[in-house]
Structure formats: structure tokens, C-alpha cells
Chains A and B, each alone.
Chain A
Amino acid sequence: MRNPDQFSSLVWLWVGIAIACSSLKYGFGSFHEPGIGFITFFAGAFLAFLALLLLVTSRREQKMPGRFWNLWTGLDVKKVIYVLVLLALYTFLLRPAGFLVSTFILLSLLFRVKGAHNLATAALLSILVTGVSYFVFEVWLQVQLPKGIVG
């Protein structure tokens, strides 16, 4: 696809059609007795219609940036993926490893993402922040944080 709007409008067109079709499976009902798919059908259909309008208008737009991947030109998208992977791993490890261990590891790695700190400084900061947040949320606010291997 050419410019970002063309790409995104095609994605939303597909999403809108999928929502509308799935809503029919749930049951559109009738105007006398609307089914559970009634309003989501219209939401999906309208989304698809607007996406189509955007696709048409974006094709006529002359002053768009080249390809949609130009949106990431000059940016370090690897760091974004790295942070997302860390967050996903944290989600899976939080219960088995516990809040203290998983948060310490996560913060140690996040503090080094922008390369501003060495490992020792990052580890120290992580211990401090993990400890303070444990005290604030678990002890003071009584949030039931997972104990994991420590508890």
C-alpha cells in the first residue's frame, strides 16, 4: 500500500466488514425486536463505510508521505518491540515468579533501554523502586500482589 491512510483505511475496512458479518451471526433481530448484534452491526457497517471513504479520499490526496513504513524512518522501533516483549514476559511471569522478582527483573532491563545507566545502577534503582512500590501498594493500599517464589 502507498500512503499511511490507504493502508490504515484498508485495515479498518476489513475490520468493519468482519464486525458487521459477525454481528449477523449473533443475531440482528428486527426493528421491532433488536437482537444482540443490532448495534454492533451498524457500528461495523458504518466503520467499513467510513474506511471506504477514507480510502477514496486518501488516493486523491497528493501531499501524503510516501509509504506507510516511512512513519518509522529515523526511529528506533527495535526498542519498542523490546519493551513490548518485556511487558509480555512480565505478564506471564508475574504469578509464578511473584511481584518482587518479576518487577525487579523488568525494571532492571527497562532502566537500561535508553542506555543511560550501567547494570549496577539499574539494579540499585530497581531494588529501590520495587521496594517502595511493594510498600505502597501491598502494605499500605492492601493490593493483593502475587507472592510467587518468594512468598
Chain B
Amino acid sequence: MIEISQQILFGLGVAIQPVNLLFCFIGVLIGTLVGVLPGLGPVAAISLLLPATFHAPPVASIIMLSGIYYGAMYGGSTTSVLVNIPGEAASVVTTLDGYQMARKGRAGAALGICAFGSFIAGTLGVVGLAFLAPPMASMALRFGPPEYFSLMILGLTVLTFLAGGSMLKSLMMACLGVFVGNIGFDLVSAQPRFTFGLDILLDGVGLVPVVMGLFGISEVLLNVEESLSRQEVFDTKFERLLPTLQDWRDSIWPMLRGSVLGFFLGILPGGGAIIASFVSYGVEKKISRHPEEFGKGAIAGVAGPESANNAATAGAFIPLFTLGIPSNAVMAILLGALMIYGMPPGPRLITAHPQLFWGTIASMYIGNIMLLVLNLPLIGLWVKMLKIPYPILFPLIILFCLIGAYSLNTNTGEIGLMISFGILGYLMKKFKYDGAPFVLAMVLGPLLDNSLRQSLLMSAGSGMILFTRPICLSIFVFVAAILLIPIFKRQFSAKDPRGSK
């Protein structure tokens, strides 16, 4: 405990260095803006800014990129409440009650509770991260290739289970992602694999053009084909930003519950802010004395999910920093960034690069304070940003993507890759395939390949090693349960004469 406190103080010393403070501020500001603007999520924003960070110190870069992630959670709630458009996927749930509160003239209370709930949850999440990460890192030293393989399979399975839409389709995207992730030179034999004779693929398919294409370009294409522009802005007037005492009484326990729930869901590989917000809403509705008020402006329906999605962002850093396993698409990109900076995450990150680990944790706390200060007074400005007509906005998004892709290797082939994945992402969205499992699997693909091969080498070719080691076996039992749940549910609802509800 004392040692951790000393490390936190060390981290604060790193975080308050002027360059790190500046990057933290830039990150949370951009994150809030990204969260406010519909269509450009933190994944795309981090991808766009990743090339720019190559010129900056690594610690400052990670602080900024992290700030974009949790800043987007703050910003996403603004448009959810004011104009019923979730600026970020994790803020979808906030539209259910937040917008209804705005229609009743209580936008200020909703926005205020969002901001305070996010701050409380973010703070609790950072504390959890600081105290849980080091013991988890020690435990992670007992993980060998079989355990890593099983954990990555668990992460992919959980993500496909919890992703919106068809689990079958999500699993298919995960398989495709594993394949794409393994394109390029094989590390063991140094032979090219599935490069189709293209030099651009020799180093593998870059994560940045893929995510910019899948999430950025595809979203633009979907909006371009709409015949009506998104010009409607509901001019909401709001009187006060600070919640009343009654609002606090109704919100404090949902905030605390959401924080704990969100944090642990964020840790789970495959979990994340979106899942956390939906689960929190479900829990609050279930335990509420007045569940009929949900969907009509219940403040608990705003406080819980907004707290959960912020706490989840902190929890998501634990598997990334301690195991080197990203729990969602954003963490996958941060993993790529850490590898590029020469700071591979894993159990030894805390001891090898303490300034990165503790500096990032401390900066997250500072970032949460910055966000509270930013979000309350700047709400009027964010609302004005929404008035930028989409015919002007989308060329800017495309330009950022093009420059971002080109700047990776000053190679137009990266732009070609991005456009190709843009087309794929567009078709995926049309046919209702989720991109998140694809991205996660693409990042994990080479790691899966290495860990599986190492496991088989360890066991002289016997696959039973994956089922005889206790941690592996437990994880695979959990994986099997997750895969079988939908089948059992379908069987039980088919047999129940009363039908399922």
C-alpha cells in the first residue's frame, strides 16, 4: 500500500511535467470534441492522431491518446442529451433518458449529472487501476503461452457475445481478423505469407489504415448516400447546469454502482464502455422502485450508464498494461502505439517503464479534473460545433484520414489500403457485420499464432496442453459456456409454452 502510494506520487511528478500536462489537455480536449461530433469515435480519432505522435515523447503521446479515449466518453453524452444523437457508441443509452430530460427542460441537470458522474467514476476507476494493476502484473508472470492463448480466445469470444447484432457474424469477423492479422512476414520462418506479391503487405496490414478505413471512411460513405443532410439541430434552452439536491440523492448510488460495474466490465477482455453502459442501465432499471420512469427522463438512467462507461475506460487499461492484451479496439490501437514506441506492454511494463505506467495513471486523474472543468462551461461551444453542416464536415474527415494514412510511411499504398478497408467497412455495416471483433482479432492474430505455436512446441505437439493446465481449462470452460448460452436460451424459449420475455 505504501509502495503503491509512493509510485502514485512518482506518477504525479511525471504527469505534472509541462509537456505531459499540455498533451493531457490536448488529448481530453480532442476527445471531448470527438465525443461531441457524431460519426467520429475515439477509435478513428486515435488512429488519425497516432502518426502525429511519432514526433513526440512516448509518455506524452500515450497520455494524449488515453485522454482522447476517456474524453470521448464525456463528450458523447452532450449530444445524446441535447439532440438525441449519441456522439459516441457508449453514449447510446444516455439518449434514452437524457434526451427526455432535455425535452422536459432539464437538460442542465442531465448534463451536470453526466459530468459529475463521469468525474466520480473516472476517479474511482483510476484508483482501482493504480491498486489492481501491480498485483495483476505479478500474477501475469505465471502466464505462459497456453494461458495467453486461452485468454485471447476468451477476449474474442466475450467481445463477439456482447457485441451488438449476430454472434455468428461477429465470430466470422473475428476469424477474418485473425487471417488479416497474419498477413506479412512470418516471424518464425521469415517467409512472406498472403502478401499477393505486394510490397505494401510485406510488413503486414497496418492497424492505422484499417481502423481509419473501417470506422472513418465507411461512416462517411454511409452518410454520403443519405439524401437528407443531418442538419437538424434541436435548439434546447437550458437554465442551470448544477443538479439539485434531490438529483444528487437520486443519482449517487447509481453512480457508485455504475462505477464498480463499469470498472470490472472494462477489465474483462472483450468488455468495454459500450457493454458497461448497457449493463448498468439494465441493472438500474431492474432495482429501481419506479422502473416505469425509465425511458421517460429518469435521472438514474443517465447517472448509472455515464458512470459505467467512464469507469470502464480505466478498467480497460489493466489487461493492456499488465498482460499486453487489449480488451477492445481502442486498447488494440494503443497496443500498436506502445509497440511502435518500443515499450511493449506486459507484466514487465511496470518495472521496465514506470514513468509510462504511473505517469499515465496520474495523468488520467488530472485529465478527469480537466474534463469536469472543460465540460461544464464549454457546453454552449460544443453545441455550436454541431451546427457545422455535414457537407463541410465530411470532406475534412476524409482529408484527415488521407493525410494520416499517407504520413505513416509516406506511401500512397497505405491510402489504397485505407480505401479498401473503407469499402469493406461500408459493406460490413450495410450487411450488419460488426467491425470491433475484426479489429481486435487482427491485433491478436499474430499473438495467437505465436502463443499457439509455442504451446505446441512446449507440449511436443499435443494440443491437450491447452486443456490440462488449470488456468487454461478454467478459461476454456468459460468460453464454452459463453458459446453455448445462446443455444440453451433458444432451446428453453422454444420449449416454454408461455414463451420468453
Contacts and interface: CB of A to CB of B under 8 A. Distances in A.
Contacts of A16: 175
Contact of A46 (B51, B175, B229): B175
A36 B186 contact: yes
A129 B396 contact: yes
Contacts of A145: 403, 406-407
A74 B227 contact: yes
B415 A77 contact: no
Given A50-B171, A71-B430, A110-B395, A90 B461 contact: no
Given A34-B456, A40-B193, A71-B431, A113 B448 contact: no
Nearest to A83: B224
A26 B189 CA distance: 11
Interface string B447-461: 011001100110011
Given A80-B426, A113-B224, A4 B431 contact: yes
A79 B225 contact: yes
Secondary structure dominating the interface of B? helix
A107 B399 contact: yes
B479 interface: no
Contacts, number: 169
B193 A114 contact: no
A65 to B, nearest CB: 11
Contact of A76 (B168, B225, B445): B225
A144 B410 contact: yes
Secondary structure dominating the interface of A? helix
Query: Which size class do B's interface residues fall under?
Result: 35 or more
Interface stretch (B97-105, B176-184, B289-297, B366-374): B176-184
A142 B55 contact: yes
Contacts of B198: none
Contact of B224 (A8, A80, A142): A80
Contacts of A38: 449, 452-453
Nearest to B175: A47
B220 interface: yes
Query: Which size class do A's interface residues fall under?
Result: 35 or more
A114 B410 contact: no
A40 B182 contact: yes
Interface string A59-73: 000000000100110
Contacts of A50: 168, 171-172, 175
7 contacts: A4-B432, A26-B194, A39-B178, A39-B449, A47-B172, A72-B225, A114-B394
Interface of B: 51-52, 55, 166, 168-169, 171-172, 175-176, 178-179, 182, 186, 188-189, 191, 193-194, 217, 220-221, 224-227, 229, 389-392, 394-396, 398-399, 402-403, 406-407, 410, 412, 415-416, 419, 422-423, 426, 430-433, 445, 448-449, 452-453, 456-457, 460-463
Interface of A: 4-5, 7-8, 12, 15-16, 19, 22, 26, 30-34, 36-40, 43-44, 46-47, 50-51, 53-54, 57, 68, 71-72, 74-77, 79-80, 83-84, 87-88, 90-92, 94-95, 103, 106-107, 110-111, 113-117, 125, 129, 133, 137, 141-146
